Amino acid sequence: MPPVRTIVPLWRRAVAETLGTGLLVAVVVGSGIAAASLSPNDVGLQLLENAFATAFGLAVLILIFGPVSGAHFNPVVSAADWWLGRRAGTGLTVRDLAAYVPAQVVGGVAGAVLANLMYDEAAVSWSSTDRSGAHLWLAEVVATAGLVVLIFALARSGRAALAPAAVGAYIAAAYWFTSSTSFANPAVTVGRAFSDTFAGIAPGSVPAFVIFQLVGGVVAVGLLAVLSPDAGQAADDVVTPPSDTTVRSGASA
């Protein structure tokens, strides 16, 4: 007899998105602080250490929170999930999206504060690292579009169980092949503005990064319309598929 499928309440999914995004930013910022301390004279090694920790940390967080909320941790991913799934009756509802995005942003800020405190820094120290320029904005379009296409390609082909490893690997690679070091996430970008450390971004650079990440999401939706017109059918499996006894999306709770 198949297991009874239950609905995870929206509040619980929002909590999972808050915690997951917060811990992701804590990994990014914390490993950046550690890297700068361990390898003070080698920026390349600092980036390698930061990328390594982020890739593995993200994979673990997807495994932990995926069965609860889908482990989006990213407003662009959540928005694409809603947009692509709306016609098929899959993915996030408008109400879900309205809960996920603020939860992710709040989590991102809290994660940066947590990382600062763990390394005996001021709880909030606005980043002074300017990250502006057309080349960086283009890199954010590429990084974000690639991430969204990867996630939906995995879901559509029934390989969403590979998301922890695949998404972690993509982010690690994108740290190096994009000039912006692949923020690719508005919530993470906002959070990283709260830490004046290796992984930080100046508040004045945040709006443009977020705008071009959203552009990357639009590009991804366009690519999926060409490559996988039925990608929305798999929106319930973004980023990770539900467990045998869990349905995430479309809940009214």
Share the mean pLDDT of the chain.
92
pTM above 0.85, yes or no: yes
Which spans in 133-185 are helix H? 134-156, 163-177
Q: Which of 110, 137, 134, 135 has its CA nearest to residue 124? A: 110
Answer whether 209's CB lies under 8 Å from 47's CB: no
Tokens in use for 230? 């039925």
The better pLDDT of the pair 117, 8 is held by 117
| 3-state SS class at 135 | helix
One DSSP character per residue, 195-207 reads: B-STT---GGGHH
pLDDT range class, residue 87, cuts 50, 70, 90 = confident
Q: How far is CA 157 from the centre of its chain?
A: 21
Q: Rounded to whole angstroms, how far apart are CA atoms 203 and 216? A: 20
- Could you identify the residue written with the tokens 């910022």? 29
Is 190 exposed, middle or buried, given 0-12, 13-18 or 19+ CB atoms closer than 10 A? buried
- Confidence (pLDDT) at 251: 38
pLDDT(239) > 90: no
pLDDT, mean of residues 88-93: 90
Q: Which of 150, 170, 184 has its CA nearest to residue 76? A: 184
- Least confident window among 2-11, 35-44, 75-84, 221-230: 2-11
pLDDT 10s digits, 143-182? 999 999 999 999 999 999 999 999 999 999 999 999 999 9
User: Which domains are present in the chain?
Assistant: 8-233 (1.20.1080.10)
pLDDT(243) > 60: no
Q: How far is CA 234 from the centre of its chain?
A: 19
Q: CB neighbours of 198 closer than 8 A, spacing ≥ 6?
A: 32, 33, 35, 36, 46, 50
pLDDT, mean of residues 130-150: 98
- Confidence (pLDDT) at 69: 94
Answer whether 123's CB lies under 8 Å from 37's CB: no
- Confidence (pLDDT) at 242: 56
pLDDT, mean of residues 107-132: 97
Q: Rounded to whole angstroms, how far apart are CA atoms 234 and 33? A: 38
Answer whether 181's CB lies under 8 Å from 175's CB: yes
Within 13 Å, how many C-alpha atoms sit on residue 65's CB side? 26
**Residues of the chain above pLDDT 90, percent:** 85
**Residues of the chain above pLDDT 70, percent:** 92
Among left, alpha and beta (phi > 0; psi -120 to 50; other), residue 228 is beta
